[in-house]
Chain A
Amino acid sequence: MSLSVYNCKNDIPENVQYIDNNNLFFNIHTDIPDSELSREILKNIEMAEYAGPKKFKGRTKEFGEINKEYLSTGTKTLFNIISYPDKCFDLVECGTNALDFVAKINDGHVFWKNIIAFPEGDESCDIDFKGKHYENIIEFLNSVRYNDEY
């Protein structure tokens, strides 16, 4: 298992469904995963806490538990990738903080047209890109930049 990254839509395998409307897909099909990674995503991106598959506790405590539909698109995209590793999700609506979490996902498919990220801390990853496997995110990002320049 690895995260397959594509920056050209023609590279997405025919049997892998491409999804660009992450909000719509999440609201209809995806629950908030209960895992260490999803709790980390909620904490770092939303300043929130897990409260169930369809709820979270947001930064404004007075609001109590909030329906998952109010999560940011970036967070929804990450949860889509985690929950549906057989589909390819477009990262175009992910902010830089959400993109930094992509390297922590080790299964699934993503379309990442402009591959830019500024990962902090752990540099390990499990990424397949254009036939090559990467276990270090910096190496992957440098390789993408090299391919773009030549």
Chain B
Amino acid sequence: MNIDYNYSGIQVKAVFSDNINMLYDMSGTGKSFLFLIIQYYAKENGLACRLFDYKTDNSEQHILTECSNADILIFDNADLYMSKDLLGKLKIRCKCILISLKDLSRIEFGSVGLYSILYSGNKMEVNRVE
């Protein structure tokens, strides 16, 4: 997914090239804000996007139900509800998964892309770091 998008004066550039794209970063770097912007981007570009965060029902059953036919799945603050097993099920159902996680040791992953946000002035750039 290649994003070059202006949200209310903020220029966002991101290339997510993995099946699972993990944002692993410090607090306050704009991960949740980025996910909000991606939702708007998806809507404007006809992409089906599902966001799971602290406000949503994050039971495994609900997540699997909601992810059908989704072009993009976003899991914000996934430490509280994501597991290796669930992620394995999601991998085969959706080509583009974005996930923010603080504690990588809790979950074993296969090949995932690690991404970091550089937020400077009115520009937000997402770079693949590993």
Check B27–A98 contact: CB distance below 8 A: yes
- B: number of interface residues (CB 8 Å): 22
Check B54–A21 contact: CB distance below 8 A: yes
Check A97–B102 contact: CB distance below 8 A: no
B26 contacts across to A, CB distance below 8 A: 45, 74, 95-98
Q: Is B25 an interface residue (CB 8 A)?
A: yes
Nearest B residue (CB) for A76: B27
Check B54–A23 contact: CB distance below 8 A: yes
Q: Is A36 an interface residue (CB 8 A)?
A: no
| Min distance, Cβ B26 to any Cβ of chain A, angstroms | 4
| Min distance, Cβ B123 to any Cβ of chain A, angstroms | 10
Interface string of B53-70 (1 = CB under 8 A from A): 111000000000000000
- A: number of interface residues (CB 8 Å): 26
Check A23–B10 contact: CB distance below 8 A: no
Nearest B residue (CB) for A59: B119
Given A23-B54, A62-B9, A70-B33, A93-B80 contact (CB < 8 Å)? yes
Which of A21, A62, A75, A113 is close to B28, meaning CB atoms less than 8 Å apart? A75
Q: Which residues of B contact A (CB under 8 A)?
A: 8-10, 25-29, 31-33, 53-55, 77, 79-80, 102-103, 105, 119, 122
Q: Which residues of A contact B (CB under 8 A)?
A: 20-21, 23-24, 45-47, 59-60, 62-63, 70-75, 92-98, 113-114
